[in-house]
Amino acid sequence: MKGARIPTWIWLILVLAIIAVFGQGLIPWEQFPGLKQAASRVSAYLERPFLHIGVLPVSPAFVLKATFFLFLLSLIYKASRALMRSIVLDRFDMDVGQKYALEKTVGYAIVLIGLIIGLDSTGLDLTSLTLVGGAVGIGVGFGMQSIASNFVSGLVLLLERPVKVGDRVEVGHLNGDVIRIGGRSTWVRTNDNIIVVLPNSEFIIKPVINWTATDRQVRFSLPFGVAYSSDLEEVRSVVLQTAIDHPDVLDEPAPDVILIRFGDNAVNFDLRFWTISRVQTPIDLKSELYFAIFAAFREHGIEIPFPQRDLHLRSNVEALQ
């Protein structure tokens, strides 16, 4: 749906305001006396302060300049990140998380430097912000602890990088891929394609399982049991071959089968295998292996037992008489 069309008179007022604020020295006003008079009136109105913050007069012209500057700073922020990504980061062999962290850090630094330069260029004495800074500090102390905590946690995530974009993480009962680390929150996409937005502090103050912190090679275990009548060496050979034949199971490190214990009804084993391509879908991979193992056991006549109990009855005839 297309946005609403901005009326022409609004554009005219905006152009006159910009000319009055920024372009008075660039136009030959002697050739346009009527325009000069209109621009002077607009300029006088725009320069009239409607409130003061300390010694800082806040006028429509100041608001217009600040809005234009923030818009320009946002464009510079986006352009600097794009240049950093295309010209600098793509030339180095770094993973996606490292590139994202450097790109974000450079963007934040540019915004901070731009704000300082912008405030100074408006003629604002930065020392006059002491009172405002004190008020903001009180606000942070009383009502913005979580926002400040999440912002600092976001900086820690970008600089220390315990979690980075592209990692497979587990936080509490949530399991998914990190797709974005922002100033306040981190986005995690689950296998159901649901985006869960978590505060950054969750990744700092709570235990986090990062499945791919160093690399994407992960080991999983697949428990199974066979009947006591089975040939255990044959069982191990059949299961290992089934795992090796699966295209998403790595040959190196090689899968292995270990005997866990002698249970009540079965001999219990664990198939341990490594994968890179199926880190996001371990349940699906285990299901495929279970199907393949079940088919291999039926082919080789290996029994998968079910729980059973032997009941022995001893009658005492004399006691009943």
Cβ neighbourhood burial of 2 (10 Å; 0-12, 13-18, 19+): exposed
Domains and CATH numbers, the chain: 48-143 (no CATH), 161-210 (2.30.30.60), 218-300 (3.30.70.100)
Question: Tokens in use for 109?
Answer: 């630094």
Q: How would you list the strands of the sheet with 218-226, edge to edge?
A: 218-226, 267-275, 256-262
The answer to whether 267 touches 280, Cβ cutoff 8 Å, is: no
Q: How confident is the model at residue 1 (pLDDT cuts 50, 70, 90)?
A: very low
Write down the pTM of the prediction: 0.55
* pLDDT confidence of residue 3: 44
Amino acid at 11: W
Burial of 176 (0-12, 13-18, 19+ CB in 10 A): buried
2 confidence band (pLDDT: 50, 70, 90): very low
DSSP state of 232: H
- pLDDT tier at 290 (50, 70, 90 boundaries)? very high
Instruction: Find out whether 255 and 249 touch, Cβ atoms under 8 Å.
Output: yes
76-129 pLDDT tens trace: 777 777 777 777 666 666 666 667 777 777 777 888 787 777 766 655 555 555
Strand ranges in the chain using DSSP code E only, listed in sequence order? 51-53, 56-58, 168-171, 174-181, 185-189, 195-199, 209-210, 218-226, 256-262, 267-275
What is the sign, positive or negative, of the torsion defined by CA atoms of 95, 98, 102, 104?
A: positive
Task: State yes or no: pLDDT of 256 exceeds 90.
Answer: yes
d(CA 269, CA 235): 10
pLDDT over 70, % of the chain: 66
